[in-house]
Amino acid sequence: MDNQLQSISKIFTEKIFRIPDYQRGYAWTEKQLKDFWSDIMLLEEDKNHYVGVLTLEGVPKKTYENWADDNWIIKSKNFEPYYVVDGQQRLTTTIILIQSLTEVISKDEVLNYTTVEEIKKRFIFDSKDNGISRSYIFGYEKDNPSYEFLKTKIFNETSTSGYKNEITIYTHNLENAKEFFVNKLKELTKEEREVIFTKVTQNLLFNIYTISSDIDVFIAFETMNNRGKPLSNLELLKNRLIYLSTKFNADDSERNKLRKIINDGWRGIYHYLGLNKNKPLNDDFFLNNHCSIYFGHEIFPYDEIQANRLRRPSHHLRDNLEDFLLESKFTLKNIITENNLTINSIKKYVESLQNSVVNWFYFFNPTLSNDYTDNEKVLLDSLNRIGLSNFSALILAIYLKKPKADLKIKLLEKLEKLAFLYLLISYRYYVNYIDFSMVAIKIQKGDMSLNDLIKDLDLKIKEIIEKPDFIDRLVDNFKSDGFYGWNGIRYFLYEYELSIKGTSKTKKNKIDWFEYRNEKDDFITIEHIYPQTPRTDCWTKNFNSYTLRERKTLNNSLGNLLPLSKPKNSSLQNKCFIDKIDNGENYVGYKYGSYSENEISGLTDWTPQNILDRGIKLLKFMEKRWELNFVSDYKRKEILNLTFVKETTPDKIFVKKEKKK
């Protein structure tokens, strides 16, 4: 195994590089890009910076002889072809930065006496007789979707293979890296860009290792460290399966076919995981959920599955799944000595992953589906907001059974209701919590029918709401911190917002869920109408007859909490009620906000009575929406912890003003 320190300029001398099929794609995100850029900017001129290890493997002759586009440069110009076993993230980033440099300067401009054409020929591609034939100095193997993406979107070349712009999480990362560097370089002067070019090509040093033919490259890949981001289990699993595909005692055609199935499978998996650019899906979260239902009966004790409950802490579930796949299931031992793995069993597993990831994508992006009914989309959207991750394995198991639409709707309704009840009554201390992963295993295996699941969910719901102390439990839950500290407050207020939208003439959403659920420093998305620090007369006149403790209770009470259409500076909370409605200066008041804000914008004052009335109204909505029964207004006042409020003639808080004739 040879090793030496080399600059990019020396590395890219009579060599071409390919990312092999067992490698993951480009995984660096903004954090790693910022670190890389910072290393370059902080590097003193005429100083070198050690970047890391670049491990290479010579490409066998029988392989590169099939590289039609590259044969001429290998044979006629004696370029050596190499696979990049480790260090591809750093190397890819470096090439994207060099490409970005060629794009921010004009064609007639030079960098350190080097033209754009010369830079491209050295680092990007060479042309046969200056014609249309291209041999790319660095790239992916052709069956990788990143191959064409790198060529067309990063190098700005034209595809000759009918490329359909296939996207994955990795292609998103490539695109983001180029945009990052182009934006940084545009801010620099010509002289500063020349310094960057020198640093990148001359002063970044890689420790080059060339693996000898007697070392198993698949095992080497698994044991190597990556500077920026560690390999995910899904990425490691792909490498492991490709490695195992070479170890079966079968014809080359069978082994090659299995390898192609694995590559195509992962290509599809990463396509769907990254299909929504704004909300890429975590690869290991998908893998773990699929593993739990596909191999659940091999991993977990029978009694735990039958009891619908994993008796150990939840983190043991994740650890079990991760250890199982790479340490127990997909091992060389299971081929050679145990005979537990076959070409067909791996093929079946990969096909299941492919089938499952399509369902998985649409669970988390229901509005993008052309196959879901409107009710299905609404329910899956609600489940995403309440926390789909808690029962995603079960929903996957349900959808893999391909039930009819009405059965799916029933199941989704029951799951959403049960999830809400768990939020409402602090389930960990009050009910026997169902481990949905355990139920998913039974569904997948066929030990439980979907109709039986509906019955079980109904029984669990009934067990919660028919307990004699159900309302007393709610009173206790909200006694100390009110509803503001409740985990379900955003979900509940958002559902109420949607209910008002349903009766409105305009049908657009006024609250963006992503902004609404993520508060930033000094910006709030849930407003205390009666503020937390009420110092002005407009507030003290209505509230100072109550004790400090009672005022705090009013402040955090359900009726005093308002979902805002846009995050608002927290200092605005202290304004008088009439100014919160419309301050006459800008469009941040309730009058211009969410449907919930609009609902109270017709009032001229905000009193303890208003807080009580609106709280009761919201509880009645809760009863109707989730089929609950809080018995009476007095019980509702107890749940709100507002029995101390002095009854006054209530304002017509939710009655629309009559138009003047």
What is the per-residue pLDDT for 15? 95
Q: CA-CA-CA-CA torsion for 193, 198, 199, 200, nearest 10 degrees?
A: 90
pLDDT for the residue numbered 413:
97
Mean pLDDT computed over 111-137: 87
* Percentage of the chain exceeding pLDDT 70: 89
Which residues are CB-contacts of 523 (< 8 A; sequence separation ≥ 6)? 567, 568, 569, 570
Report the DSSP pairing between strands 80-86 and 49-58: antiparallel
pLDDT > 90? residue 394: yes
The pLDDT-based confidence of 573 (bands split at 50, 70, 90) is confident
d(CA 590, CA 562): 10
Please provide residue 526's backbone torsions phi and psi, each rounded to the nearest 5 degrees.
-120, 120
Residue 658 has pLDDT above 50, yes or no: no
pTM of the model as a whole: 0.81
Q: In the chain, what is the greatest distance between 2 CA atoms, to the nearest angstrom?
A: 95
How far apart (Å, rounded) are the C-alpha atoms in residues 637 and 644? 9
For the four alpha carbons of 408, 414, 418 and 419, in that order, the dihedral sign comes to positive
How far apart CA 264 and CA 259 sit, in angstroms, is: 9
CA distances from 290 to 22, 96, 212, 243, 593 (A): 21, 35, 37, 22, 42
Once rounded to an integer, what is the mean pLDDT over residues 636-641? Answer: 96
Q: How far apart are CA 85 and CA 224, in angstroms?
A: 9
User: What's the rounded mean pLDDT across residues 504-530?
Assistant: 84
Specify whether the CB–CB gap between 572 and 529 falls below 8 A: no
Q: What is the Cβ-side half-sphere exposure of residue 169, based on CA atoms within 13 angstroms? A: 22
